[in-house]
Chains A and B, each alone.
Chain A
């Protein structure tokens, strides 16, 4: 049906999934009004009913949160990689280089030389080539060296203050634990291995705070790349002889005194240019790749993991289904007197089916509704935990895939509930009145 919008398609799929359950219900209930009897039974077994509905709800909610968070994670990581069209690095692992530059994960990357950087910057189609330097930290926040132009490409103009204009200045990401005006003493390395005071005398002043991007750079302290080179006692790509107090930052750099960078972020203006740059810079001594493509590969792997997780979620839902239906069979046994009465009064066999199935259906529908509510309530908390763990903002929401999962789950359970209900109906064929 290519004419229908995707939302209509999704809605139709959801409808198709829920329909068998509803049809099953309509066939069982047709012509009867068993609700007073079912209400009486529910009131009698209220505790058990609530417990079963809660079991169903939790099983469903876990599945919903799992799939929604996985999708949210993929979308959030894709958003984080969005500003990076092409990344150029020394040959090695694309994944490592991508994780280091987009997600600021500590990595030991080989360096590109000044000559290589100059070639990258001069490649046709390249509108922005920014060196990225990593490896230091301040109070646990990664310190990244790059150019003011790239910072503006990444996050636009600062939300507070101004871009850095000198080597002793830094801008911080929206979620970094610093504010404009703060003094920062960077440490060498990251995390447990960070050596405090290794960069004594290289204090930084925060001059600006960036708008949130949703990416890991929101936690970073961003400095001119020359500052990083200075801190490590390297040449800085600018010919010697400038006055010490006001040494330049940013391009162009002198090829001979360029100390090397682990990665270069490249921006292009044309689709063809992006592919062209990647083709031109894929050489034995240089590696160029689309972080988006690498991420898509990782997502494909993640997708396999998700498929496995979905199977496990479905399996746990199926287990809950079996457990609940087995439990229902026992609960129904508690109502043997009521069913015997119905039989004695001559209630049709299908009516007893309607009663026991309707009882299960109430628990299933109530449990499913509660499960969706639980998932809605838990979604924010799960997103927050995930965001804190990952360092980038995950905003998971329930979508059509979850609607489909709910519909499939409800239909599966409604149809499966026929089994104990039919067993109960069979058991009713013989019973006396006295």
Chain B
């Protein structure tokens, strides 16, 4: 299945003036993150093609979360460059990284992080709360289209509190897609789901590759099986890098 919301998302994106459109390539060099006197991430060089589905794995404490935080600009690096397309987010001030996140990034979490008190559509269109006025309607339309495509057409008004884990993670996915992001970062997105729902989500994520660059931290073999590239971290270093 192609990604039917791309055209819509592109229309939405056209309202902004950004240098890059569509999926972005990632280029990391000389990246080093130190915490408490210990190097917790050390990536001398990493190139990821635009539209790739990268799955990141490794033991607990290997640096996966740190990697996601640095790639999303939630954490500053002590040294190195993290370039998404032409933008080196490691060189940006915190406000610039925030802006990059809200304009180019979609996020998925193991625990969904939805507002349980709100309906599916309000959750999926959450970024409309702070988006500029001209973009709000398009953003909500994109969110609704994503919910439709993810099989939640009738659930737009249902409170998230009464939904299953699988449904919630799909609402979260609609939220991640609502801004038409270039990059989607996910942290163990299938870990809280039963097998059936985990497989379905992995399929949905795999479909996003191409139009979006995905970096997914996951131990789920089903997720790893759908990766275009599999990176293994240990002690903050990439110890294995294999194309799937």
- CB of B107 within 8 A of CB of A345, answer yes
Contact bitstring B86-114, A, C-beta under 8 A = 1, else 0: 00000000110111111101010100010
How far does the Cβ of B105 sit from chain A's closest Cβ, in whole Å?
Answer: 7
**Min CB distance, B214 to chain A, in Å?**
15
Q: Which residue from B115, B118, B130 sits with its C-beta under 8 Å from A347?
A: B130
Contact assessment for B68 and A40 in the assembled complex, using a CB-CB cutoff below 8 Å: no
- Inter-chain CA distance A433–B98, complex, in Å, is 12
| Contact residues of B: prevailing secondary structure | helix
A28 within 8 A of B: no
Chain B count of residues within 8 A CB distance of the other chain? 36
The closest CB in chain B to the CB of A352 belongs to: B130
A398-434: CB near B (< 8 Å → 1, else 0) gives 0000000000000000000000000000000101111
- A43-B117, A433-B69, A434-B68 known; A33 vs B136 contact (CB < 8 Å): yes
Q: Which of the candidate stretches B7-15, B77-85, B121-129, B202-210 sits at the interface with the other chain? A: B121-129
Nearest to B130 among chain A residues (CB) is: A351
Contact A341 B113 (CB under 8 A): yes
Contact A348 B102 (CB under 8 A): yes
Are B132's CB and A31's CB within 8 A? yes
Which positions 28-63 of chain A face chain B at CB distance < 8 Å? 31-37, 39-40, 43-44
Whole-angstrom distance between the alpha carbons of A176 and B97 in the complex? 80
- Report which of B75, B105, B122 forms a contact with A346, defined as CB distance below 8 A: B105
The chain A residue sitting closest to B136, CB to CB, is: A33
Point out the residues of chain A lying under 8 angstroms from B72, CB to CB: 344, 433
Residues from chain B with a CB closer than 8 A to the CB of A39 are 117-118
If A32-B130, A432-B75, A433-B187 touch, does A345 touch B68 (CB 8 Å cutoff)? Answer: no
B65 at the interface (CB under 8 A from A): yes
Q: How far is the CA of A40 from the CA of B107 in the complex (A)?
A: 20
In this assembly, does B1 line the interface, its C-beta being within 8 Å of a C-beta of chain A?
no
Contact A346 B187 (CB under 8 A): no
Pick from A345, A349, A351: contact of B95, CB below 8 A: A349
Is B75 a contact of A347 with CB atoms below 8 Å?
Answer: no
B45 CB within 8 Å of chain A? no
Does the CB pair B128–A338 fall under 8 Å?
A: no
Are A33's CB and B102's CB within 8 A?
no
Taking CB atoms, residues of chain A closer than 8 Å to B97 are 346
A363 to chain B, nearest CB (A): 17
Assess the A40–B118 pair: CB atoms within 8 A: yes
Report the separation of the CA atoms of residues A348 and B75 in the bound assembly, to the nearest whole angstrom: 16
Q: In the complex, are the beta carbons of B103 and A346 less than 8 A apart?
A: yes
Contact A347 B74 (CB under 8 A): no
B152 proximal to A (CB < 8 A): no
Q: Does B18 touch A at the CB level, under 8 Å?
A: no
In the complex, what residue of chain A is closest to B94 when comparing beta carbons? A429
Contacts of B127 in A (CB 8 A): 345, 347
- Is residue B239 within 8 Å, beta carbon to beta carbon, of the partner chain? no
Residues of B within 8 A of A343 (CB): 74, 98
Flag if B130 contacts A40 (CB, 8 Å).
Answer: no
Is B187 within 8 A of A345, CB to CB? no
Given A344-B107, A433-B68, A433-B109, CB of A31 within 8 Å of CB of B98: no
| B129, A36: Cβ atoms closer than 8 Å | yes
Cβ-defined contact, A33 with B129, below 8 A: yes
Query: Please, which residue of chain A has its CB at the minimum distance from the CB of B118?
Result: A40
A118 to chain B, nearest CB (A): 85
B159 CB to nearest chain A CB (Å): 10
> When chains A and B are docked, how far (Å) is the Cα of A40 from the Cα of B117?
5
Once the chains are docked, how many angstroms separate the CA of A72 from the CA of B68? 67
In the complex formed, the residue of B with least CB distance to A32 is B130
Q: List 18 A-B contacts (CB under 8 A).
A: A33-B130, A33-B136, A34-B130, A35-B129, A37-B115, A39-B117, A341-B113, A347-B98, A351-B129, A429-B94, A432-B74, A432-B75, A433-B68, A433-B69, A433-B187, A434-B65, A434-B68, A434-B217
Closest 10 A/B residue pairs (Cβ): A346-B101, A346-B102, A434-B65, A40-B117, A40-B115, A43-B117, A351-B130, A434-B187, A432-B69, A346-B98
A32-B130, A346-B99 provided; 20 other pairs, C-beta below 8 A?
Answer: A33-B136, A36-B129, A40-B118, A343-B98, A344-B101, A345-B102, A345-B105, A345-B107, A346-B101, A346-B102, A347-B130, A348-B130, A349-B95, A432-B74, A432-B75, A433-B68, A433-B69, A433-B74, A434-B65, A434-B217
